[in-house]
A and B are shown apart, each in its own frame.
Chain A
Amino acid sequence: MVTAVRRMLPVVGLVAVLLLIWEGSKVLFGISDQRLPHLGDIVTTMFTRTQGGNGPLLLVQMLINAWATLRVAMGGFFIGGLLGFGLALLFMRMPILERGLMPYVIGSQTVPILAIAPMVVVGLGRMGAEPWVAKIFVAAYLTFFPVTIGMLRGLRSASPQSLDLMRSYAASSLQTFWKLRLPASLPYLFASLKIAASASVIGAIVAELPSGSSEGIGVMILNAAQFYNSRPPALYLAILVAGLIGVVFYGLVALAERLIVKR
């Protein structure tokens, strides 16, 4: 019980400090409610009903949309993760390919996703694909890169002597992969999966913006921004929920790491 309190203390303390800074700066710098609403108003907004008082609570609506975004992010994360994993394997086996392809891989990540997302969404839409295909594509696009880099580093992390041992046992290259290279790479893999988890959420949200889609936290953010003048707290709420998606996804990956990586 005492340890539980002790563990919670930093979290609770930090929230209290943030609240203080938020409300304090409003008073200190005289920021209007229009530009920075009271936290209390944001909380109140959560529990207002949508659709002119007949719909679900705004918070519930936000969470339903957040779930839609999280699903897309997870789909993109899964596909992008597999792609990154595959590329890392390919580059490890064939360093020539790495030298040849890596510049394009890096280049692909330097182009702003905001510029690519509409092209992908519109392009795939014209080809008759469902809207979610484009969204998952964009999320995967942001995911594969950190996984490729992290996994490649991980696959090369086995020490020369641990490889010498495998050689002395006359282990096949498949055995060396399963029993040495892969387990040695897991800490690196999970570090990059954590980055990929939040990147895939960004990808999913950005892909929701131009598509005229009907669901997702990106749509909520657009709506709230449109009606910002009449109801500022809604946008803040949408942003907080978007952040929450990232935290939840990161937490899931961290949990998987604790279950899988033993030492």
Chain B
Amino acid sequence: MDTPIIEFERVSKIYQGGAGPVTALHDVTLRIAAGEFIALIGPSGCGKSTLMRLIGDLEQPSNGTVRIKAKTPDQARRDRDYGIVFQSPVLYDWRTIRKNVELPLEIMGRPKDQRRQRAMELLKLVGLGDFGDAYPHQLSGGMQQRASIARALSFAPSILLMDEPFGALDEITRERLQLELLSIWWEAEPRPTVIFVTHSIPEAVFLADRVVVMSPRPGRVQRVVEVNLARPRAFETREDPQFFALVTEVRECLRATETAG
């Protein structure tokens, strides 16, 4: 592997809870290359969101080191290396959709016409070209999540952190957005590294280059499944026998974590 963009070296995270310390993540070592699409999957409490938050400097490790582009996560955050998409869109409801997408650029002090142009460009990319002047509550859940993706991409971050971004959407919208996300990611120049947290096995396999299977109590990396399905992937990929084989492999892997725990 080339020099990794994300490096976990024996990382643990322990929370001090009311009922004593809880190990959310135990001894995780992981290397992720630039431009990779990584899915994190596992049952609740396996630490997949914690792992994502450690990358994004939203949490600090208790032990071990996290390096992002050979920097500390804190430095990477200051360099605006992270775009984040949560399960809920977290749009600011007093701003129009366009102004929401402009928000990061506003904070980074980009000139007004440049922000505006970039926001319109991205809204077109996610299929919301006509909705720039709408307020978030006027849009459906799927459209709001598209806006949230546009906002995360607005400043072209090198790492995209996605915490179950399609978890609250219906299956049909979800599959459509998966395809759209893949094509946006595939065509982006430079292509960002994606960390995608999910509960869904088919989603993980369909999107990722590698699926990191995690197990709970304490949260740790169980196995990493390589997904060697051809890119760009399409609607038909989900009907490929190899796709089914990989879904089965991940599923078996997850079951093994349960019986082991």
B58 CB contact (under 8 Å) in A164, A186, A261: A164
The segment from B35-43, B100-108, B188-196 that touches chain A is B100-108
Q: Does B80 contact A (CB under 8 A)?
A: yes
Pair A168/B92 contact, Cβ less than 8 Å: no
B interface SS class? loop
Q: What 0/1 pattern do residues 77 to 106 of B give for CB contact below 8 A with A? A: 110101110101010111000000001101
Pair B94/A169 contact, Cβ less than 8 Å: no
Pair B104/A169 contact, Cβ less than 8 Å: yes
Q: Does B135 contact A (CB under 8 A)?
A: yes
A171 CB contact (under 8 Å) in B56, B57, B107: B107
Report B214 CB to chain A, min CB distance, Å: 21
Report A119 CB to chain B, min CB distance, Å: 43
Q: What 0/1 pattern do residues 148 to 184 of A give for CB contact below 8 A with B? A: 0000000000010110111111110001000110011
Report B217 CB to chain A, min CB distance, Å: 24
Q: What 0/1 pattern do residues 37 to 64 of B give for CB contact below 8 A with A? A: 0000000000000000000111000000
Pair A168/B106 contact, Cβ less than 8 Å: no
Pair A263/B135 contact, Cβ less than 8 Å: yes
Q: Does B233 contact A (CB under 8 A)?
A: no
CB contact under 8 A between A167 and B92, given known A179-B103, A179-B106, A179-B107: no
Pair B58/A167 contact, Cβ less than 8 Å: yes
Cα distance, A262 to B56, chains bound together (Å): 32
Pair A170/B94 contact, Cβ less than 8 Å: no
Interface size on A, residues (CB 8 A): 20
Q: Does B137 contact A (CB under 8 A)?
A: yes
Residues of A contacting B108 with CB < 8 Å?
169
Q: What's the A-B contact tally at a CB cutoff of 8 Å? A: 52
Residues of A contacting B82 with CB < 8 Å?
168
Residues of B contacting A166 with CB < 8 Å?
107
CB contact under 8 A between A170 and B80, given known A179-B107, A263-B135: yes
Pair A263/B90 contact, Cβ less than 8 Å: no
A interface SS class? helix
Interface size on B, residues (CB 8 A): 23
Pair A263/B106 contact, Cβ less than 8 Å: no
Pair A168/B90 contact, Cβ less than 8 Å: no
Report B159 CB to chain A, min CB distance, Å: 10
Residues of A contacting B84 with CB < 8 Å?
164-165, 168
Pair A169/B107 contact, Cβ less than 8 Å: yes
Chain A: which residue is nearest B80 at the CB level?
A170
Residues of B contacting A175 with CB < 8 Å?
107
Residues of A contacting B57 with CB < 8 Å?
167-168
Chain B: which residue is nearest A166 at the CB level?
B107
CB contact under 8 A between A168 and B56, given known A161-B88, A263-B135: yes
Q: What 0/1 pattern do residues 9 to 35 of B give for CB contact below 8 A with A? A: 000000000000000000000000000
Pair B86/A161 contact, Cβ less than 8 Å: yes
Pair A167/B77 contact, Cβ less than 8 Å: yes
Residues of B contacting A162 with CB < 8 Å?
90, 92
Chain A: which residue is nearest B53 at the CB level?
A164
Pair B107/A262 contact, Cβ less than 8 Å: no
B78 CB contact (under 8 Å) in A170, A184, A262: A170
Residues of B contacting A263 with CB < 8 Å?
93-94, 135, 137
Residues of A contacting B107 with CB < 8 Å?
166, 169-171, 175, 179
Report A131 CB to chain B, min CB distance, Å: 42
Most buried by B among A164, A168, A262: A168
A180 CB contact (under 8 Å) in B77, B86, B88, B92: B92
Pair A262/B94 contact, Cβ less than 8 Å: yes
Most buried by A among B58, B83, B107: B107
Cα distance, A168 to B82, chains bound together (Å): 6
Q: What 0/1 pattern do residues 66 to 98 of A give for CB contact below 8 A with B? A: 000000000000000000000000000000000
Cα distance, A106 to B91, chains bound together (Å): 36
CB contact under 8 A between A161 and B77, given known A169-B104, A171-B107, A179-B107: no
Residues of B contacting A161 with CB < 8 Å?
86, 88, 90
Report A245 CB to chain B, min CB distance, Å: 31
Pair A170/B90 contact, Cβ less than 8 Å: no
Chain A: which residue is nearest B151 at the CB level?
A165
Cα distance, A170 to B83, chains bound together (Å): 11
Pair B58/A168 contact, Cβ less than 8 Å: yes
Residues of B contacting A180 with CB < 8 Å?
92
Pair A170/B88 contact, Cβ less than 8 Å: no
Report A175 CB to chain B, min CB distance, Å: 5
Residues of A contacting B80 with CB < 8 Å?
169-170
- Residues of A whose CB lies within 8 Å of any CB of B are 159, 161-162, 164-171, 175, 179-180, 183-184, 186, 261-263
- For the complex of A and B, 4 pairs with smallest distance between CB atoms: A169-B107, A171-B107, A161-B90, A183-B94
